Amino acid sequence: MASGKKQVTMATIAEEAGLGRTTVGYVLNGKAAERGIPEQTAQRVFEIAERLDYVPNEAARDLRTQRSGLIGVLFQSLGAEWPVRVIQGLQDVLFQTEDYHPLITAHGHDPALEEREIQFLLRRRVEAIICSATAMSDTFRTILKRRIPLVFIGHAMPEMPEASSVLFDDRKAIKAGVRRLVEQGRRRIAYLGWDFPEGYFQNRHDGFREALEESGLECREKWFEIVLHGESPEAAVRRMFSGSGQRPDAVFSGLWRMALGALETIEDLGLRLPEDVALITLEDHLACRLKRIGISTVHQPIEEIGRQAARTALDLIASPHSGAIRRLIYDCEVIDRRTTIGQGR
Residue 93 or 148 having the CB closest to a copy of itself: 148
CB of 61 to DNA, least distance (A): 4
Residue 11 binding: pick among a copy of itself, DNA, none (C-beta 5-8 Å cut-off by kind) = DNA
Residue 38 or 111 having the CB closest to DNA: 38
113 binds a copy of itself (CB under 8 A): yes
Strand 164-168's sheet: what is its strand order?
A: 101-106, 70-75, 128-132, 150-153, 164-168, 326-329
79 binds DNA (CB under 7 A): no
Residue 290 binding: pick among a copy of itself, DNA, none (C-beta 5-8 Å cut-off by kind) = a copy of itself
CB of 246 to a copy of itself, least distance (A): 28
281 binds a copy of itself (CB under 8 A): no
**Single residue of 15, 57, 271, 287 touching DNA by CB under 7 A:** 57
9 binds DNA (CB under 7 A): yes
CA gap 342, 61 in Å, rounded: 57
Summarize as ranges the residues that interact with a copy of itself (CB under 8 A).
1-4, 7, 53, 55-60, 62-63, 66-68, 77-79, 84-85, 87-88, 91, 95, 101-106, 108, 113, 119-120, 122-125, 127, 142, 145-149, 260, 263-264, 286-287, 290-293, 320-321
Summarize as ranges the residues that interact with DNA (CB under 7 A).
6-7, 9-11, 14, 18-23, 25-26, 28-29, 35-38, 41, 56-57, 60-61, 63-66
